[in-house]
Chains A and B, each alone.
Chain A
Amino acid sequence: MDHLGVVLGGVPTTLLVTATCFGVGAVLGLVLVTGRRSGSVVVRGLSRTIIDLLRGIPPIVFLFIVFFGIGSGAIRLSPFVAAVIGLGLISAAHLAEIYRGSLLAVHRGQFEAAQALGLGRVTTYTRVVGPQAVRVAIPGMVTWAISLLKDSALVSTIGVAEIMSVTNQDARSSGSSLTPFVIAAAIYIALGSPLAYLSRYLERKLSLKGAR
């Protein structure tokens, strides 16, 4: 039996789910972090609550709420769309926290200097603080991408035909049940380790450059 071929067949979908959720999360995360730093107490409190809820609930439970809870009622959601909404929103919350941490890492003096120079709020963020914060945020973002790659295995439970899902089918239909799982583990590790290496490399390189 060609277990490897079967399991590899799930790779494109795994990558697609991971990349799409990451993209959705990266953009919505910006919205959430803007809310988290808003001048209005209500917006700030609301953003914080959303982030805490999304980070506090197990991803699989949130995925089930989206797919079985919401997506099977009045609105019909395909497994893929439910997966993207579920893991995309969770990513948004985690990435918002990573963005926030990196903004906090930029020295207060930078904001004060920008203000003293008469730069507006938008210019301060896009030209002064943003570029410095991105440098701090990137290793954390890559680390989140690795977590997301592994969490994408969860969407097998709602019927998206990615690695875990084809592995399960293969294990059930073939006599040997250990091999497909071992192959799946190896593939996840193979997909994740370049990212892990990249994260470590960037962390070293960016922290050296950022040092005074």
Chain B
Amino acid sequence: MSTSLINDWGEWLPRLWDGLLVSLQVTGLSLVLGFVIGLGFALLSSAGSGLVRWPAILLVEIGRGMPALVMLQLVYFGLPGVGITFDAFPATVVALTLTTAAYTSEIIRAGLRAVPAGELEAADALGLSHVDAMRFVVIPQGLRIALPTLMGFAILIFQVSALAYSLGLPELLGQAYSIGAATFRYLDVLVLAGLLYLAITIPASWLVDRLERRLSKHLG
């Protein structure tokens, strides 16, 4: 029985591998796009003017408050209702980008706030402009402080990408589910898919832990 399981796994692996690549693609794209938007929102939501700050904070809270599954289905099944139609792949990227933007905005904002006030005072006392102080002092350090949390979030988004199976995207879980439906060997194929996810997430979280420890030593 165990040899047949290994044979089956060997047979399924190429399809799951293709699925994994799709998972990694949507994750990577969403992270890059979402991070850029998130940085913008982090700056807007730390702005001095309430007129800029509050709308930004509101949008971020909406993005963080709704489940990623709702975001995905809203984009894929909901937006066609108002004439905006996406294929599964772009729909997934749009939804995960928005989710990433909302979460990373909050993570970066916390990082920016963690930069000691004394350094801003020093920048002021040296006569640096506000823009220069943000650009040379606050943003580089804020991003560094936020880095471990951002990487932890990247792992989370990789996990969340599995939800795109519900849009019919042939990513890792989608592939596993359709093999399961065809063979009725759900447990075997899902466990294999789970192991593939773990093969990415567990080493990645070790890396994050190590990075966190190294950075806290440097900045401490």
A binding-site residues for B, Cβ under 8 Å: 52-53, 55-62, 64-65, 68-70, 72-73, 150-151, 153-154, 156-157, 164, 167-168, 171, 176-182, 184-185, 188-189, 192-193, 196
Contact = CB atoms under 8 A, between A and B. Distances in A.
A58 B162 contact: yes
A64 B77 contact: no
Contacts of A171: 73, 77-78
Contacts of A177: 77-78, 80-81
Contacts of A70: 187
Q: State the main secondary structure of chain B at its contact with A.
A: helix
Name the residue among B70, B159, B176 with the largest chain A CB count within 10 angstroms. Answer: B70
Interface string B150-180: 0000000011111101100000010011001
Given A168-B73, A177-B78, A181-B74, A61 B173 contact: yes
A179 B81 contact: yes
B46 interface: no
B198 to A, nearest CB: 5
A178 B81 contact: yes
Interface string B129-163: 00000000000000000000000000000111111
Nearest to A190: B65
B205 interface: yes
12 contacts: A52-B205, A56-B197, A56-B198, A60-B173, A64-B173, A68-B187, A151-B67, A153-B69, A153-B70, A171-B77, A181-B70, A193-B61
B62 interface: yes
B67 A59 contact: no
Nearest to B206: A52
B72 to A, nearest CB: 10
A69 B190 contact: yes
B82 interface: yes
Given A153-B70, A189-B65, 14 more contacts: A52-B202, A56-B202, A60-B173, A61-B197, A64-B173, A64-B186, A164-B67, A177-B77, A177-B78, A181-B70, A184-B70, A185-B66, A189-B61, A196-B65
Interface of B: 61-62, 65-71, 73-74, 77-82, 158-163, 165-166, 173, 176-177, 180, 186-188, 190-191, 193-194, 197-198, 201-202, 205
Name the residue among A68, A70, A153, A181 with the largest chain B CB count within 10 angstroms. Answer: A181
A184 B66 CA distance: 8
B187 A188 contact: no
Q: State the main secondary structure of chain A at its contact with B.
A: helix
A65 B180 CA distance: 11
A196 B57 CA distance: 14
Contacts of A62: 194
A66 to B, nearest CB: 9
Contacts of B80: 177
A57 B81 contact: no
Nearest to A56: B201
A18 to B, nearest CB: 11
B78 A57 contact: no
Contact of B186 (A72, A150, A156, A196): A72
